Amino acid sequence: MKLKEIGCYLGIDVGSVSTNLVIIDEKENVIEKLYLRTSGKPIKAIKSGMQIISDIFGDKITIKGVGATGSGRQLASVIVGADVIKNEITSHAIAAQKLVPEVKTILEIGGQDSKIILIRNNVVYDFAMNTVCAAGTGSFLDRQAARLEIPIEEFGKYALNSKSSVRIAGRCAVFAESDMIHKQQTGHSIEDIINGLCEALVRNYLNNLAKGKDIIDTVVFQGGVAANQGIVAAFERELKLRIVIPEYYDVMGAFGVALLAKEKIRRNQSGTNFGGFEVSKKDFRVLSNECKGCANMCELLEINSDQHILARWGDKCGKWNA
């Protein structure tokens, strides 16, 4: 049976570093996935993703449901027309359990934040997020790779070639970079320094996010940083456990929310809010304003298209919500 006849489901994960799109079919197989750089322009990234999917499939698929997650999930929902809006914790947990049913611990490191999720009896038992410190995120690794003039794709392989341990101060991104420069000046090899950096990031993660938490097998590592072999090896040394990297480790949030969209449409037997791939051609404007109606001074965001207000949020009292 053709995809257009059976229908597909779209998941969108809009983060500060990457915007990911996943399409699954009725059997929950991934038939397409996109990993795009957000580059500070989430609307442009969403529209680009929709255009790419439209170019690939044309009118060969029918989207029966859409889910949105990530820090930009509200924005994605307004632009595309989502049926489900879920936080990253739920989306990542659903995706991990789908691909690795026996999962008990999820380690997730993205571009600007990191998470740990504990699964017990097939539900989220506990979690923690770090959205403040840059030292434990992928963007910090990107910065150091660029400074060392090493492609980020090759960064982890250097760590695997390390011959001796070099301890890098990893509790702060600024101190870590200064320590790396000092180690270079004293003659340590690039391989040993990169390995030390990977170990520092893992220590930072475990001492902050995972402190006091019971990390047990099976451990799944997802997010863009899961592609870094040096980080994976450092986690395995510290935890003394084998780390599982799922097939779609880099787009797990989008995959998970696509699964949630499929479940909601099936359960409610309802139609979709999806606006069609034509949204890639529309012009969207975001306006910001500050409400002076009370001491809260709420920052309001308004999304417009074709001189129509699509949504407005940011106020605490509901006065401006649309």
**What proportion of the chain, given as a percentage, has pLDDT over 70?**
92
Q: What whole-number distance in Å separates Cα of residue 162 and Cα of residue 225? A: 19
Do 3-91+253-281 and 101-245 share a fold? Answer: yes
CATH 1.10.4190.10 fits domain 101-245: no
Report the candidate in 230, 232, 170 with the shortest Cα–Cα distance to residue 204.
170
Give me the mean pLDDT over the 104-112 stretch.
86
- pLDDT (0 to 100) of residue 2: 57
Tally of CB atoms within 10 A around 307: 6
- pLDDT (0 to 100) of residue 127: 92
Q: What whole-number distance in Å separates Cα of residue 256 and Cα of residue 249? A: 11
- pLDDT (0 to 100) of residue 86: 94
Q: pLDDT for 36-61, tens place per residue? A: 988 888 889 999 999 999 999 888 88
Whole-prediction pTM? 0.86
- pLDDT (0 to 100) of residue 63: 92
Classified as helix, coil or strand, 3 is helix
What value, to the nearest 5°, has the Cα angle with vertex 155 and ends 226 and 52?
Answer: 60
Q: What whole-number distance in Å separates Cα of residue 180 and Cα of residue 308? A: 52
Distances (CA, A) of 51 to 10, 47, 157: 14, 6, 34
Confidence check: pLDDT of 11 > 80: yes
CATH top class, domain 3-91+253-281: alpha beta
Confidence check: pLDDT of 104 > 80: yes
- pLDDT (0 to 100) of residue 322: 54
Give me the mean pLDDT over the 254-258 stretch.
96
- pLDDT (0 to 100) of residue 291: 80
Could you tell me the two tokens for 233? 């090896």
- pLDDT (0 to 100) of residue 12: 96
Most confident range, picked from 79-83, 149-153, 298-302: 79-83
Tally of CB atoms within 10 A around 108: 27
Report the candidate in 12, 48, 79, 83 with the shortest Cα–Cα distance to residue 301.
79
Long-range contacts of 283-288 (CB under 8 A, 24+ apart): 284/43, 284/47, 284/79, 284/310, 286/43
Confidence check: pLDDT of 147 > 70: yes
User: Domain segments of the chain: what residues?
Assistant: 3-91+253-281, 101-245, 284-313
Q: pLDDT for 22-31, tens place per residue? A: 999 999 999 9
Give me the mean pLDDT over the 124-128 stretch.
91
- Average pLDDT of the chain to the nearest whole number: 85
Residues 6+ apart with CB under 8 A from 188: 166
Confidence check: pLDDT of 62 > 60: yes
Confidence check: pLDDT of 259 > 60: yes
Confidence check: pLDDT of 136 > 70: no
Higher-scoring residue by pLDDT: 183, 28: 28
Classified as helix, coil or strand, 187 is coil
Q: What whole-number distance in Å separates Cα of residue 272 and Cα of residue 265? A: 8
Q: Where residue 1 falls among pLDDT bands split at 50, 70, 90?
A: very low
Confidence check: pLDDT of 4 > 70: no
Give me the mean pLDDT over the 99-103 stretch.
95
**What proportion of the chain, given as a percentage, has pLDDT over 90?**
38
- pLDDT (0 to 100) of residue 58: 81
Report the run of H or E that residue 193 belongs to, with start and end. helix 190-208
